[in-house]
Structure 1
Amino acid sequence: MTSILHVVTTAPDFNDPSEPTGLWLSELTHAWEIFAERGFEQRIISPAGGFVPLDERALRFPARDASADAWLKDPEKMALLGNTTPASEVSAEGVDAIWFAGGHGAMFDFPDDADLQRLAREIFEAGGIVSAVCHGYCGLLNTRLSDGSYLFDSREITGFTWAEEKLARVDKLVPFDVEAEAKARGARFRKAKLPFVPHAVRDGNLITGQNPASAKVTAKLVAEALS
């Protein structure tokens, strides 16, 4: 059975309790639905393990779409976010793909987590699919391959852009400009002509999506790559 790891943040705020954030729920739920339709085995992990906070903005319409709404109303699904497995306890053996979901929390606990980097590197070098949507690519920002090069170096990617940070009015809250940091690591950054529209990029077994609206199209590319 095809096995997929979903990586989610457990960071609850912008390093300021008065500015909450967390997982952007639909970036998990859209991918989960697409993979479930194909019978893939799915697990949810996080850097530290434990409870997953949800970004409040993602719980309001229109961000709270049918997919996210169904998850919120399903006790079994919500329980999956109540006590996630820490990445340190997870092996890449037998894993076919890894999916990094976003939400601004990912900017705080994804970039420097050695176990997330280990999983991404081992899955990628074994020929598996490494994927991310929106701020999920923060989890790949500092990932290096066995030869010491950055995973992003010379590869086409996309992700949440600096223009979108400004339009979302969080540019003063985020700890860094992830688009610029990805480019500094050699990424060939690609983005849609308009902000907040669906956009995904595949470069071999690296697949990335630009923003929350891109979760579904990105997950479909992952599913196709695994077929």
Structure 2
Amino acid sequence: MTKRILHVVTNVAHYDDPSHTTGLWLSELTHAWDVFEEHSYEQALVSPAGGAVPLEPRSLKFPNYDKTAKAWRSDPAKMALLENTANPDRIDAAEYDAIYFTGGHAVMYDLPDNEDLQRITRDIHEHGGIVSSVCHGYCGLLNTRLSDGTYLIAGRRMTGFSWTEEVLARVDKLVPYNAEEKAKDRGARYEKARLPFVSNTVTDGNLVTGQNPGSAKSTAKKVVEAVEGAA
């Protein structure tokens, strides 16, 4: 049976201050997409509101704008996928082996409280599938509870964009909250690399998380290992 991966992306285009734009960090999608494509997995895109996905401008500049991101933007069919993402209420979690939450600061706004995405995540987790995120994607896991009422990330080893990295990226005054602290508040055993912005991926059972944009490829590879191990 062909494995299926559901990528979660954002619909938000700016911070609270509309003059500061944000969106999907493109390489966090493209790096993972390429890894999953190499394994012939079927892939789909879902966003909180469905429809179009804005791109984070900083992800389209050197050194973040690499060959995978450039190839995606030059492919009309791939760009069309970002114009026509599925609405989560149309998604049957039973059809997917893994869910992968992409990042970009935009996801801090529209992922945490989307009940349909929480349902999908919970269902995939509870039927033995893989729940994964990279960078700010873990914001989509912050408020997800299991059927017993506990937070999915409670007691679990995980990572995601650190507060140190927010400060170094000079967006600590723009972001709506400290995601690292919120994860810890929910009982997560948050970990980060000794140095900021280096690749770091943490696997805890069927939960796979990556710390920052540079972790997308390694996170996707760990998702593949987890999916194949769960088969």
Q: TM-score, normalised by structure 2?
A: 0.97
Structure 1 gap segments, 5+ residues each? none
Distance 1:153 1:82 in 2: 35
Distance 1:135 1:184 in 2: 16
Deviations 1:167-221 (A, max 9, x none): 0000000000000000000000110000000000000000000000000000000
Distance 2:17 2:62 in 1: 25
Deviations 1:48-98 (A, max 9, x none): 011100000000011001111110111110110012111121110121000
Partner of residue 183, structure 2:
182
CA deviation after TM superposition for structure 1 residue 104, in Å: 0.4
After TM superposition, what 4+ stretches of structure 1 lie above 2 angstroms from structure 2?
A: none
- Residues 66-85 of structure 1: matches in 2 within 5 Å? 66-85=67-86
Distance 2:12 2:95 in 1: 28
- Residues 83-102 of structure 1: matches in 2 within 5 Å? 83-102=84-103
Partner of residue 32, structure 2:
31
CA contact (8 A) 1:198 1:211 kept: yes
Partner of residue 204, structure 1:
205
CA deviation after TM superposition for structure 1 residue 15, in Å: 2.2
Partner of residue 147, structure 2:
146
Q: Provide the secondary structure at the position in 1 that maps to 2:154.
A: coil
Residue 204 of structure 2 aligns with an amino acid whose one-letter code is D
Q: Provide the secondary structure at the position in 1 that maps to 2:174.
A: coil
CA deviation after TM superposition for structure 1 residue 16, in Å: 2.3
Q: Provide the secondary structure at the position in 1 that maps to 2:95.
A: coil
Residue 27 of structure 2 aligns with an amino acid whose one-letter code is S
Residue 103 of structure 2 aligns with an amino acid whose one-letter code is G
Distance 1:7 1:101 in 2: 6
Structure 2 gap segments, 5+ residues each? none
Partner of residue 113, structure 1:
114
Partner of residue 219, structure 2:
218
Instruction: Please provide the CA RMSD for this pair.
Output: 0.6
Distance 2:59 2:186 in 1: 30
Distance 2:66 2:198 in 1: 15
Q: TM-score, normalised by structure 1?
A: 0.99
Q: Provide the secondary structure at the position in 1 that maps to 2:43.
A: strand
- Residues 157-196 of structure 1: matches in 2 within 5 Å? 157-196=158-197
Residue 212 of structure 1 aligns with an amino acid whose one-letter code is P
